[in-house]
C-alpha cells in the first residue's frame, strides 16, 4: 500500500538513522489504543459507511492494517514511496514479472537465486518472454540491449559467488535503453543498501531471510517510487492474491525491529570468520563482497554499508565435504540465510539445483563451494566449529590417500 496514506509521515526535519528506522519505521502510536506493538487485524472484511463509498479497508486480500504497517516499515527503510507485501519472495518476484508480455526481452544476471532462475526457464520462457543470462554483469554494455529489452534484473552481491555489480552504472545503462532496473536486494536489505536511491526502479526482497531474521517467516516485498508502476503491481497483488497474511505481517514487524543490531553483530562475525577461513589449510578460497577484484571492493564500499552476512568458501581438492557437514557440532546444514543462527549449504546440490551443470561452472560455482550464512552466535564458537570440522574433513582424505598409496 502507498506509504503515508493512513500514517503521519515522519518529520522531514528529523530524518531517523537507519538503525532507528528498523525499530520505528512503522510506529504504532496511530492506533486506537496506543498499543506499542501493531495489533494483528484478522478480520477479513470491514463495515462500510454507505453503499457508494469504501473506507480505507474493505477486504483482507486487498488491504489489511497489519500488512500496511509491515509495508510501511519496509518502505521507510528503503526511503521508498511504496511497498507491497507478499506471501514469499518468489510471490513478489512473480508479481514483478507480470509486467512483461510475450515479445518483451529481459537481461538478467546469470548469477541469481535458483528459484528466480527457474522462473525464467520454466515460466517466462514458455510465456514467450525472451531473456538472456549475462554470465558477468560487469561486462554489460549497449550491445547487449535489444530494441525490445524492457528490463535488467540483478542481485548484488550475487548468490553464492558474492560478485558485486555497480547498481548506479547499470541503472544508467538500462535507462538509456528505456529499460527498468530490478534489483533483488535480499542479501543486503534496506539497512545496508538502497537500490532505489542508486537509480534502480524496483527492489524485490525475500523477507524470509534477514527481515524476518528468525527462520520462522515466509514473506516478500516490492519497493518502488513510481506511482503508475505501483498501481499496476497493486492490481496484480490484489488480483493474483499471494498477499502477506496478517499474522506473518506481525512476525515481519517483530523481526525487522532487530534487523540493524542483528546485522551489525553478523557483520562483526563475518570479518572474524573470513580471517579464520583464509588461514585454514583446508580452504582454497574465501568469497565475500569485493573478493573478486579491487574494483568490486570499491563498488561495494560505495553502494553498501557493509559486507552483509553471507560468504562462501571453496575447499581444497580432496577435502570431504560430506565429512565436514557431518562433523559440524553447532552449525546446521540447511538452505536459507539471514536468521540469527549460522547455516551452511552446498549450492550446487541445494539452492542452485535448478541450474544446468555447465551454467553453474560458467558462473564459477563448483561442488567444492560452501555457502555460509553467518549468525549472531559468539564468533569464537563459530570459528571453532568450522575449523574442527574442516580439519577432520581434510584429515579423513589424507587417511584415504595413504590407503591408496599402500595399495
Residues in contact with ligand PLP by the rule CB under 6 A: 88-90, 113, 115-116, 155, 159, 184, 186, 206, 208-209, 218, 220
Q: Respond yes or no: is residue 78 known to be catalytic.
A: no
* 3-class DSSP state of 1: coil
Residue closer to ligand PLP (CB basis): 57 or 288: 288
Of 57, 67, 69, 113, which one is the catalytic site residue?
113
Q: Known catalytic residue: 379? A: no
CB of 337 to ligand PLP, least distance (A): 6
Smallest distance from the beta carbon of 208 to ligand PLP, in angstroms?
4
DSSP state of 34: -
Distance (Å, whole) CA 154 – CA 183: 5
Closest separation in Å from C-beta 351 to ligand PLP:
8
* Cα distance between residue 375 and residue 209, in whole Å: 12
**Contact 383/330 with Cβ under 8 angstroms?**
no
Shortest Å distance, C-beta 30 to ligand PLP: 29
Closer to ligand PLP at the Cβ: 90 or 315?
Answer: 90
* C-alpha cell of residue 327: 562433523
Of the residues 61, 118, 301, 359, which is catalytic? 61
Distance of closest approach, residue 323 Cβ to ligand PLP, in angstroms: 27
Q: Which C-beta is closer to ligand PLP: that of 38 or that of 158?
A: 158
Angle formed at CA 265 by CA 263 and CA 269, multiple of 5 degrees: 110
Please, which residue, 196 or 389, has the CB nearer to ligand PLP?
196
* Residue whose CB is less far from ligand PLP, 159 or 342: 159
Q: How far is the CB of 210 from ligand PLP (least distance, A)?
A: 10
| Nearest one of 184, 233, 200, 274 to 83, comparing CA atoms | 233
Q: d(Cα 400, Cα 252) in Å, to the nearest integer?
A: 48
Among the listed residues 72, 78, 104, 184, the single catalytic one is 184
C-beta nearest to ligand PLP: residue = 89
The answer to whether 344 and 321 are in contact (CB under 8 A) is: no
Q: What are phi and psi of 368, to 5 degrees?
A: -90, 10
* Dist. CA 35–CA 58, nearest whole Å: 23
Evaluated on CA atoms 330, 332, 333, 336, the torsion sign reads negative
User: Which residue number, 159 or 266, has a Cβ lying nearer to ligand PLP?
Assistant: 159
Question: In terms of CB distance, is 94 or 390 closer to ligand PLP?
Answer: 94
Is 248 one of the catalytic residues?
no
Q: Per the structure block, which three cell numbers stand in for 76?
A: 521507510
The SS3 assignment for 53 reads strand
DSSP string for 88-114: SHHHHHHHHHTT--TT-EEEEESSS-H
Q: Distance between CA atoms of 275 and 383, rounded to whole angstroms?
A: 10
Catalytic, 250? Answer: no
Report the greatest alpha carbon distance in the chain. Answer: 89
3-state SS, residue 315:
strand
Rounded to a whole number of angstroms, the minimum distance from the CB of residue 193 to ligand PLP is: 13
Do the beta carbons of residue 108 and residue 154 sit within 8 Å?
Answer: yes
If the CB atoms of residues 184 and 320 are measured against ligand PLP, the closer one turns out to be 184
Catalytic residue among 3, 67, 194, 209: 209
Beginning with the edge strand found earlier in the chain, give each strand of the sheet holding 180-184 in spatial order: 82-86, 220-224, 202-206, 180-184, 149-155, 105-109, 130-134
Distance in Å, CB of 93 to ligand PLP, minimum: 6
Indicate which residues carry an active-site annotation: 61, 113, 184, 209
Amino acid at each position: 500500500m502507498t506509504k503515508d496514506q493512513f500514517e503521519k509521515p515522519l518529520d522531514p526535519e528529523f530524518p531517523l538513522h537507519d538503525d532507528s528506522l528498523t525499530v520505528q519505521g512503522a510506529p504504532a502510536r496511530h492506533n486506537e489504543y496506543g498499543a506499542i506493538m501493531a495489533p494483528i487485524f484478522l478480520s477479513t472484511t470491514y463495515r462500510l459507511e454507505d453503499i457508494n463509498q469504501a473506507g480505507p479497508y474493505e477486504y483482507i486480500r486487498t488491504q489489511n492494517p497489519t500488512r500496511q504497517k509491515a509495508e510501511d516499515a519496509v518502505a521507510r527503510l528503503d526511503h521508498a514511496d511504496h511497498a507491497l507485501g507478499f506471501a514469499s519472495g518468489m510471490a513478489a518476484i512473480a508479481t514483478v514479472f507480470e509486467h512483461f508480455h510475450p515479445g518483451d526481452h529481459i537481461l538478467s544476471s546469470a548469477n541469481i537465486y535458483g528459484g528466480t532462475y527457474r522462473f525464467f526457464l520454466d515460466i517466462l520462457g514458455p510465456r514467450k518472454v525472451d531473456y538472456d543470462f549475462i554470465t558477468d554483469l560487469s561486462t554489460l554494455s549497449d550491445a547487449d540491449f535489444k530494441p525490445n529489452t524492457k528490463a535488467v534484473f540483478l542481485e548484488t552481491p550475487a548468490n553464492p559467488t558474492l560478485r558485486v555489480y555497480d547498481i548506479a552504472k547499470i541503472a544508467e545503462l538500462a535507462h538509456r535503453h528505456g529499460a527498468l532496473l530490478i534489483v533483488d536486494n535480499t542479501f543486503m536489505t534496506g539497512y545496508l543498501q538502497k537500490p532505489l536511491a542508486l537509480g534502480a526502479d524496483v527492489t524485490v526482497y525475500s523477507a524470509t531471510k534477514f527481515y524476518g531474521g528468525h527462520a520462522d517467516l515466509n514473506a516478500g516485498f516490492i519497493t518502488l517510487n513510481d506511482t503508475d508502476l505501483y498501481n499496476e503491481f497493486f492490481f496484480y497483488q490484489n488480483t493474483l492474491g499471494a498477499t502477506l497474511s496478517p499474522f506473518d505481517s506481525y512476525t515481519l514487524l517483530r523481526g525487522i525491529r532487530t534487523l540493524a543490531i542483528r546485522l551489525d553483530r553478523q557483520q562483526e562475525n563475518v570479518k572474524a570468520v573470513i580471517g579464520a577461513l583464509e588461514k585454514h589449510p583446508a580452504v582454497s578460497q574465501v568469497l565475500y563482497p569485493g573478493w573478486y577484484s579491487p574494483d568490486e571492493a570499491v563498488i561495494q564500499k560505495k553502494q553498501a554499508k557493509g559486507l552483509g552476512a553471507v560468504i562462501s568458501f571453496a575447499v581444497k581438492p580432496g577435502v570431504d565435504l560430506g565429512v565436514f557437514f557431518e562433523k559440524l557440532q553447532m552449525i546446521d546444514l540447511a538452505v536459507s540465510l539471514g536468521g540469527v543462527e549460522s547455516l551452511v549449504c552446498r549450492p550446487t546440490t541445494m539452492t542452485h539445483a535448478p541450474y544446468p551443470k555447465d551454467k553453474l561452472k560458467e558462473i564459477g560455482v563448483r561442488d567444492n563451494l560452501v555457502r555460509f550464512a553467518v549468525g549472531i552466535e559468539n564468533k569464537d564458537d563459530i570459528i571453532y566449529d568450522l575449523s574442527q570440522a574442516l580439519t577432520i574433513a581434510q584429515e579423513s582424505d589424507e587417511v584415504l590417500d595413504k590407503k591408496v598409496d599402500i595399495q
